[in-house]
Each structure stands twice: as C-alpha cells, then as structure tokens.
C-alpha cells in the first residue's frame, strides 16, 4: 500500500504517557478504593451484576506489581462507528503487553464484536502494529455494530475466548459497546471463567462522559476537522458576501459536536438539540431564529452567514418527533392502504386524514422533497430513517419561504441565497490529533495494566486531560458505576447513561453568552487544519469544551 | 475579531522569496528579451492591442535599477472566486513597494473590479496588512465578478485611477480577469495615460497555465484540502466497508482538481471531463465504468469505494450537453407553453414531444429529482444552472438502478449503498500552504518590480516551482503572449486560453496507467491535513501534477 508523506512521518511520533505509566511496568501498582455504587437503580443493577457490581475505583501508584509480568493473551475489539485514535488504543495495549512480557500476545478480533462471536481473529505482530501507529480509521482489524445479546452469542463469545486462550478481552466502543463489555464481564464470571473484560471510551459524539471519564476519544480530532471546514466556509462567506451556508454536523443524540464547533468558529447560528427539546421549540420557531439573524444582518448589508445544525435536530423538535412517530405507526399498520395511493399528492392527502390535526398541518407545510424523504427509505423496522432527512435543506427551504413573507411586509430587504453541507464522514477517520494520539495510547496502556492486575468489568480511564500529558491520571472505573436502568424496546435494561449537553454546564453557558452577538455581528474564527508539529499552542490544545469543563 | 491559535502563529511566518528578489531592491534589474507573439490569431490580436501587443519577456537579473525607488501609488484588485494566498500577493506587493520607497502607497479597490469602476477603495496600512498575512480568504478588500466591459466602465476605471493618483493597477484573477487586465492596459495607453496594469495568476481550478505560468495560485492549497477530506473518507470507507462515496469536486471547465486529488488519494474511480468529451462517452457508459468497478470489487467482498466526479462533468457528456442546449432553447422560446403544463408528469410528456428523440429518451431516463433540477432554478439568461445539478446523485441513482439490473442477470451479487458529497467552498479560503504563501508573496513582490520598472500589460510570473524557493525564477510575461481569439456570445473576442487537462500530458498518463488497478484493488492513500510546520516532506511539497509536469 502506498503511503502519504504524513503517514510515514506520523509512524515515528512517540505518544506521551501519564507519569504513572511511564515507570518500568513492574513498578506500577494498582491501588483500589472503596466499593462504588451505580448512578441510580442500585438494587436492580446489583441483582443484574451479581459478580461485578460495585467494584472499587482503581488508581495506579508507584509500587511493586508482582503479576504484571505474567505472560498474557488478550483479544481486542473495535466496536461501532470509527473514531480517530482507535489504532493507538491498540498500540498502547500492545506495547504494554510486550513490556510486561515479550511472550504476551494480542489478537485482533475482526469486524467488531462479531469477530468474537464467530471466532475471526488475527494475531497482531510488531510490523502490523507499526503500520497503524498514529493513523486514523479502524481498518487495522475492522469494526462492526453487532451487539452480543442472545444467550447463543454470549456462549459463542466465551467459546472463542477459550479457544484463543485469551486472558482478557478489550472492547473499544461507545456507551452501548461498553454496556456490552459490562454484560460480558459478568457473563464470563457467572460461567466460572476468569477471562477479564476491559472497556475503552470511544465516540466522536462526545456523549460518553461522566465524572470519571472526561471525554471519549476521537471527539477532539473530529471536532477539529469539522471546525477547520466550518472556518474555511466562514471565511469564504465573509469574502464572497453572498451565501448563507447551512451546515449539518454528525451527532444524532447529543449536540456536543455542534457546540464545540460553535465555540471554535463562532458562527451566526448554532442549534443545540437539547435546548430545542427543553424549550419545546416548534419548527417554525427554529426557522424564526434563523430569519431574525438573516434580517438583522441584512440591515447591516451582510447578506451572508453560517448556521450549524446537529444531525439529530428534527427528532428533538417535539412536533416533528410526534409527526415521525405517527408516520411510523401508520406505515406499520396501514402499509397496504398507503401503497395503494397512486401519486405523492394522493399519498399526502390520504396521510393527512390519518394523522392528528397538528401533525397533518405540519406535514403539509414541509417542503415537498423533505415530505418525500419522510415517506421513503424506511429502515428494516419500518421506521423513518431520520439520518437521511436533509435537515439543512428543510431549514433552507423554510427560511427562504419565511423571508419571502417578511419581504412582502417590508421588514426584510436583503438577498438570500443558501448552500447546504453535511460533515460527518470527513472527521471520523482523520489522523488523530496529538491529543487523541496520546490519550488513546494511554487508554490502551492503562487497559493493559488493569488486565495484568487481574481486574474485570472496568473502563480504562485517563483524567486531568487539560494538564500536560505527564500529569494525566490513569486508572480504571468499574463499568457498573456509570450505569442505570432504562426502558428500551419494551423492557428495562442496564445501560451506561448517555451524556447530553447540559444546559447549565459551562460550555453551553459560554456559547449562550455570546450567541446574540454572533447572530448579528460577523465574529467568525478560522481554526485552520489540524497541526501535528510546531508550537504547542497550535498542536497540543484540548477542546474548548474540555477546558471549560475542567479549568 | 477573535483569532485562532493558527492564525496568530501564521502571522509570524516569513514567506520565502526567489533569490533574484532577495537582493536589495535597487540591485534588481529587469532584462527584456525579444518581442513575443500570441499563441495564435497574431494579426487580429496585433490589431486589437496596438499599444501592448508583442512585448518582450521580462527577467530579473542582478544590476542597478534606477527607477525602483520612485514613490509609487498602486491599486490592487481581487477578482473572481476566492483562492488561498490572495492576501499574500497583496503582502508581497505591499512589502516591495515599501522597500522601494517608504512613501509609496497601496490602495485596495473594494469588492473586485467594481471598486475601480465605482471608486471604492481603502489605503492599506501596515497594521491592516499584518492582520492578513498568510491567511486565506479575500476578506481584506473583498472580491467580485464584475467585468470591465462597457466603454463607460473603462472610462470610469481610468477616472478612478487618476483620482487616486495611481501609477499602476494590479489585478489578481483568473483567465477572464487577466484578459480584462490586458484590455485595461491597452485602454489606458490608448487614452494617453501611463497608468500601468499588471496581472497575477489566480484560480483554484488550475486552468490558467502555460509554458510561462506553471500553475495559478490557490490550486495547491485547495487540492490538498480536498485530498485531506477524500483520504479521510477513503479510510472511513475502508474501515466501515459498507458505503460507496460519490464525491463531486469543484472545477467546472477543467478537471485539474479531480486529477490531482486522484493522484493524491488513489480512489477507485475518477472521471476527467476532458477525456469523457474526447471519447464522446454517453451517460450510460459513464455509469457502466462505475458499475464495472462495483461488480469486480463485490467479487472481492469489497462492497465499498470512492468515486471522484468533476463538477462540470455533465456538460462534457455530449448527449447531456445536447439535452441541456435543447432544454435551454425550449424554455427560452416556449416558456409560456411549458408553464401551462400542470404537473411535473405533464411537463415531462410535453417536453418529450419538443425534444429530439435521443434527448427525449435521455430525459425520461434521468432520475426524477435530476430531471426536476434541469427544469427549475434557471439563471438570469434562462439557462439551466449546471452547477446546481447534483451530478453525484445522478450517478448514484443510475448506478443503483443499473446494479439492480445486473443483479437480476446474476452478474452482480454484492450490496450497494451510496453517499454523496460535494467539496468546493471548503478549500477556497483555507490558510495557504507554505507553497502558496511563498508563491503568492513572490508573485506580489514580482508585480512590484514590474511596476517600478515601468512595464504594463504583463502577468507576474514565478517559475521553476518544483525547486526550493530560492531557486524560483521570477519575471513578467506579456499578457498578449497567452491570448487567442475565441467566439463568445456571438463575437470574436481576445481571451487568454484556458488550460484543460491534456490527455497526452504526464499527470493524466500517470493516472491512466494506474486506474485499472485502483478500480478493483483498494489502493487508497491518506494525505491527512495540510501541515505548516515540521519536516519539509510534509509541509513544503508542490502538487503531484506540478512535479510530473516539471520534473
């Protein structure tokens, strides 16, 4: 495979480790704290996790570690969507294992959790590892979205682990995957197996965080990639002075990505889904916010701007959520009748008779292409594929239409021309920033120490991330500590709670304090592309979100 | 205005100059060669450019320059679409002027050529200049697409230049803008004015080049920004292994951008408009090329890939061009009849009776949303807005449909899921690469020397760009030397010839030699983001196109 110049140079980058992990491994001892509790539903979780509930926090301290030089076999899984730095988690784990005992082995389970279920693996060798250090992507061993759910899947996972002679499995994933890691740790112990399970916090969405996990890896690189592009587009808007750019950003459940990008680039408008939901905004109110900015800026002769839109926005607008739910019901129960309607026009008229009055009214008010997107391309469960809805076009169309009305009344005299963008895939596989490269390597190395110290049901943790890397604090957090019970698919299930944007948190407040100004006055900031070399201020800074939360 | 960390650091970057421009300015002499000829239509051009035709090439050599320390007033114009480095052309010009004589003045003409026509300008001061060094965008003085065409516009341009007391005007623009610069230089002399006009070669499209202009500025930064994104998406495709990404790239007339991005990232498919036109490919044949790759890759269990599509592709497919021309005619001549057709269905049926048989057949075979794009949003001249056609979606839809047919015949057994992207605005205002920062600064400085030496009707030129900057060769190329006559809007007009991709040129041949392999075997290369600091191999390399053409 041909290599880019940057890839060759990045191979030689040496990720930084926390001070506690920089000592000879035999001098890294594990100190356990008091038993812990889950964030809620303690009794239910205690019952579900008989073997692993309530374990103590693990800290790494100077001291003799007698077990760390055992010869180990470990399997590693990349689970779910790509996030920059995944390969460095594997590298940290690999290097830790080899430092502990050169005879130790690391197996990559191929294509995500199904690699464990179906026994598809590869032993990771030195040259193979070196070909992926400090690179983006999950292509080293592949990823997948299969969940280990059925009794058969759990059983075959154990069988594979035994066949490979594994001492431990490391699952690199988001909230769902780490919930799975907790269940697997519990399952192995309940079946009398000592095979350990350790998780690592991954997701560009930034919604796997809590008091012990400051941020999931990949968020840093992804938001900086998107911010580069948003800044470039802002500068283009401010140069051409004739377009409003509507930019949709990945992040369906939480709006951390949009919020961080807004803090980095200071656009005219940025919606935060959590706020839209909390304020129960209607689609019309969302559009009004945009129009207010467009009108005021037109008064200043600035007929251009930038709007950031989190991917999941429509699901957080209560009336849209209701419409989608009703459509899902109708399509599930009356599919035949629906399909018998000839034209789109006939379908619309029939649907309006089936929808509640407010939903019918809303449906008719949508731009035609969006209405069509709601009716087509249903997922295997018959549901609307919300991620396929071109929310940026929806808002562009409705803004244009509302501005036409305002022009008639004389309140708006500007010109409006809009362009849409969607950024997501551009950032999931970028070369990890120095921050993500260091953080991931440390998470992997920390996972090794947790394994070598005999722990299971833990998430590898590295904290104090706003300080220089040598002051980072590595350790382990019991997975059950981050869990609660949630009602999903008709049953109460133990899950790690997703961290949404907190409207009383410092990042949101910092944004809220400035956005009125930004909506009128051009206040763009141009972050430029991710830098890996040069002065520390351009290549070693954590996100603004992290700084605001932790400093 | 708040500044990003990168912007602050980039302010301190010192652009490199060619050796011939690094001497004290009083020791930079201009050496003139023999009279030159235009590339064709010599008689017609000689008649049109009585004052400025056939001037000699200008080279900079060591020697006493008696006139360079004159006190000068110069006006500068940014013309047309943004390209990274525009601010550095101004910086080079500014620094040159001040080195020549601290009392010299530089005026920015605001909002493009209309700033000259309408007398809107600002004097560029030191602090103002410093706020834009090594930054992207044209926001310092704005840009515009107005052409100086009518006798009144020429007259008021001269009037403004006189009012401002200008000795010279520098026009930073593409082929059209530099044609305008040539006309303006001729006009000024023909009116007895000694106000000089110098052009600078700008355009991300890379289609302003010839034996004396190795590349227009901005191309380097733009293609590297797009290549970063394409590489990231390739890595995502190769990790997720479930999507075909169809990526449309800016570049309507020439496919240099797509070609360079293909050389940088080695996608599975890249169309070159010039080849499609030369081979007279039909839309079906274009789709077949994609399907061939999809089918072969599916046989290897690789149900993913990346397709690059130049923005202007549809206009280079002869049957599509014919269809668009026919539609333009029908809509212009029978608009009333067309608008009387009620539904889209009725419009289609009516149009088919008006179109030639092949065009009617083609029109009916297009996906509905593309057919609609062809009928809506006409430009002020009533023409189809080709740039609004979502070519990536057109090809996605037709590929999907063709694959369904192949599935029925049993020749295709894979899965196909496609995602579309369009990259253009993301790259036009990026922070210029070191290459563009240096090149632009040198072009500006060279423009100053040409002005101070009394020349007019020249394009600032910097050659030998694949060597280190101190070996670059700066000088001036007579604008008429690059011109020919072309038939435009019903009349023969003198224009600088656009440089299209040459099918027998080295860059295309290098691509053509590899593409069969790339279309089947995953050969992706991941360039990563533009680096401004660090080892020279990651931050000081010219494009592959330039290396292939010049080495």
3-state secondary structure B248-313: EECCCCCCHHHHHHHHHHCCCEECCHHHHHHCCCCHHHHHHHHHHHHHHHHHCCCCCEEEEEECCH
On chain A, the residues whose CB falls within 8 A of the CB of B525 are: 1-4
Is residue B88 a contact partner of residue B76, using CB atoms and an 8 Å limit? no
Mutate to test the interface with B, among A8, A232, A343, A538 (most CBs of B within 10 A): A232
Residue B201 C-alpha from the chain's centroid: 10
Give B69-82 as a DSSP string. Answer: TS--EEEEEEBSS-
Which of B2, B82, B534 is facing A532, going by the closest CB pair?
A: B534
Distance between B463 CA and the closest CA of chain A, angstroms: 24
Neighbour tally for B335: CB within 10 Å: 12
Nearest CB among B5, B231, B232 relative to A538 is that of B5
Strand partners, B483: B496
Q: What is the DSSP string of B183-221?
A: HHHHHHHHTT---EEEEEEB-TT-----SS----BTHHH
User: Long-range contacts: A121-128, Cβ < 8 Å, 24+?
Assistant: A121/A75, A121/A160, A121/A164, A124/A76, A124/A90, A124/A94
Partners of A534 on chain B (C-beta within 8 Å) are: 9, 532-534
Would you tell me how many other CB atoms lie within 10 Å of the CB of residue B125? 12
The complex scores an ipTM of 0.97
* Gap between the Cα atoms of A51 and A479, Å rounded: 12
Question: How confident is the prediction for chain B on average, in pLDDT?
Answer: 95
SS3 call for A325: helix
Half-sphere exposure of A445 (CA within 13 A, CB side): 27
CA atoms within a 13 Å half-sphere pointing along the CA-CB vector of A88 = 33
| Separation in Å, CA A535 to CA A58, B220, B403, B435, B534 | 35, 24, 51, 20, 10
Give the pLDDT of residue A386: 76
The 3-state DSSP class for residue B458 equals strand
What's the confidence (pLDDT) of residue B183?
98
Mean pLDDT by 10 residues, chain A (551 residues): 95 98 97 96 97 97 94 98 98 98 98 98 98 98 94 98 98 96 98 98 96 96 98 97 96 94 98 98 97 98 98 94 91 85 86 94 89 77 77 95 96 96 97 98 98 97 97 98 91 94 98 98 98 95 97 88
pTM over the 0.95 mark: yes
Cβ <8 Å between B9 and A538: yes
The answer to whether the CB atoms of A136 and B369 lie below 8 A apart is no
Q: Do B7 and A528 touch (CB under 8 A)?
A: yes
Quick check: B524 and B193 in contact, CB under 8 A?
no
Q: Do B5 and A532 touch (CB under 8 A)?
A: no
CA distances from B260 to A228, A308, B507 (A): 21, 30, 8
Give the DSSP letter of residue A17: -
Contact at 8 Å (CB) between A182 and A494?
yes
- Distance CA(A480)–CA(A458), nearest Å, equals 8
Q: Are B429 and A236 inside 8 Å of each other by CB?
A: yes
Q: What is the pLDDT along chain B (551 residues), one digit of tens a residue?
A: 799 999 999 999 999 999 999 999 999 999 999 999 999 999 999 999 999 999 999 999 999 998 999 999 999 999 999 999 999 999 999 999 999 999 999 999 999 999 999 999 999 999 999 999 999 999 999 999 999 999 999 999 999 999 999 999 999 999 999 999 999 999 999 999 999 999 999 999 999 999 999 999 999 999 999 999 999 999 999 999 999 999 999 988 899 999 999 999 999 999 999 999 999 999 999 999 999 999 999 999 999 999 999 999 999 999 999 999 999 888 888 888 888 887 888 889 999 999 999 999 999 989 888 888 888 767 766 677 777 789 999 999 999 999 999 999 999 999 999 999 999 999 999 999 999 999 999 999 999 999 999 999 999 999 999 999 999 999 999 999 999 999 887 889 999 999 999 999 999 999 999 999 999 999 999 999 999 999 999 999 999 999 999 98
Question: Is residue B59 within a helix (H) or strand (E), and if so which, with residue range?
Answer: strand B58-62
Q: Coil, strand, or helix at residue A79?
A: strand
Judge: B529–A530 Cβ closer than 8 Å, yes or no: yes
Residues B5 and B445 sit within 8 Å (Cβ to Cβ): no
Q: Say which DSSP state A500 is in.
A: P
Task: Give CA–CA dist B55/B457, Å, rounded.
Answer: 8
Do A226 and A427 contact (CB within 8 A), yes or no? Answer: yes
CA B375 from centre of chain: 28
Cβ–Cβ < 8 Å for B99, B444: no
Cα(B171)–Cα(B112) distance, integer angstroms: 9
Helices (H), A60-125: 86-100, 113-117
DSSP A494: E
Nearest chain B residue to A532 by CA: give it.
B531
Instruction: Tell me which chain A residues have a C-beta less than 8 angstroms from the C-beta of B417.
Output: none
CA distance A59 to chain B (A): 34
Pick from B100, B17, B16, B24: nearest CA to B62: B24
Q: Which residues from chain A sit within 8 angstroms of residue B264, using beta carbons?
A: 4
SS3 B123: strand
Among the partner residues A6, A232, A245, nearest to B430 by beta-carbon distance: A232
């Amino acid at each position: 495979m041909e290599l880019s110049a940057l890839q060759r140079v990045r191979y030689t980058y040496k990720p930084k480790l926390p001070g506690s992990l920089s000592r000879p491994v035999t001098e890294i001892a594990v100190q356990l704290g008091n038993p812990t509790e889950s964030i809620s539903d303690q009794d239910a979780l205690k019952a579900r996790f008989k073997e692993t509930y309530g374990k103590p926090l693990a800290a790494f301290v100077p001291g003799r570690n007698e077990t760390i030089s055992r010869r180990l076999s470990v399997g590693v899984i990349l689970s779910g969507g790509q996030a920059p730095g995944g390969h460095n988690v594997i590298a940290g784990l690999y290097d830790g294992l080899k430092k502990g005992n050169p005879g130790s082995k690391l197996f990559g389970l191929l294509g995500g959790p199904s690699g464990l279920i179906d026994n598809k693996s590869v032993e990771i060798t030195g040259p193979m590892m070196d070909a992926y250090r400090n690179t983006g992507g999950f292509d080293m061993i592949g990823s997948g979205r299969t969940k280990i759910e059925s009794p058969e899947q759990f059983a075959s996972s154990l069988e594979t682990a035994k066949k490979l002679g594994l001492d431990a499995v490391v699952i690199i994933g988001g909230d769902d995957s780490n919930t799975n890691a907790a269940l697997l740790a519990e399952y192995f112990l309940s079946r009398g197996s000592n095979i350990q399970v350790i998780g690592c916090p991954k997701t560009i969405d930034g919604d796997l965080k809590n008091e012990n996990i400051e941020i999931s890896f990949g968020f840093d690189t992804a938001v900086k990639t998107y911010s580069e592009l948003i800044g470039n587009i802002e500068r283009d808007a401010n140069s051409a002075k004739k377009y409003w750019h509507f930019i949709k950003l990945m992040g369906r459940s939480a709006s951390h990505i949009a919020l961080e990008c807004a803090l980095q680039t200071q656009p005219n408008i940025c919606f935060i889904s959590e706020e839209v939901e909390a304020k129960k905004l209607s689609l019309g109110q969302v559009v009004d916010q945009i129009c207010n900015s467009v009108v005021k800026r037109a008064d200043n002769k600035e007929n251009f701007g930038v709007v950031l839109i989190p991917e999941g926005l429509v699901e957080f607008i209560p009336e849209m959520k209701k419409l989608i739910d009703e459509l899902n019901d109708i399509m599930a129960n009356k599919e035949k009748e629906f399909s018998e309607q000839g034209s789109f026009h006939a379908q619309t008229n029939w649907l309006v008779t089936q929808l509640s009055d407010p939903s019918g009214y809303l449906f008719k008010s949508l731009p035609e292409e969006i209405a069509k997107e709601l009716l087509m391309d249903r997922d295997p469960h018959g549901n609307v594929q919300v991620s396929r809805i071109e929310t940026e076009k929806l808002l562009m169309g409705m803004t244009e239409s509302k501005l036409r009305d305002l022009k008639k009344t004389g309140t708006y005299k500007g010109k409006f021309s809009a362009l849409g963008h969607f950024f997501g895939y551009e950032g999931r596989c970028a070369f990890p920033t120095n921050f993500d490269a260091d953080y991931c390597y440390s998470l992997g190395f920390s996972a090794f120490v947790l394994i070598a110290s005999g722990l299971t049901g833990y998430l590898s943790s590295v904290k104090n991330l706003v300080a220089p890397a040598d002051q980072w604090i590595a350790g382990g957090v019991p997975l059950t500590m981050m869990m609660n019970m949630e009602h999903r698919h008709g049953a109460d299930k133990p899950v790690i709670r997703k961290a949404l944007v907190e409207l009383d948190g410092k990042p949101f407040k910092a944004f809220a304090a400035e956005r009125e100004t930004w909506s009128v006055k051009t206040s763009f900031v141009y972050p430029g592309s991710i830098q890996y070399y040069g002065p520390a201020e351009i290549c070693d800074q954590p996100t603004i979100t992290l700084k605001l939360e932790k400093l």
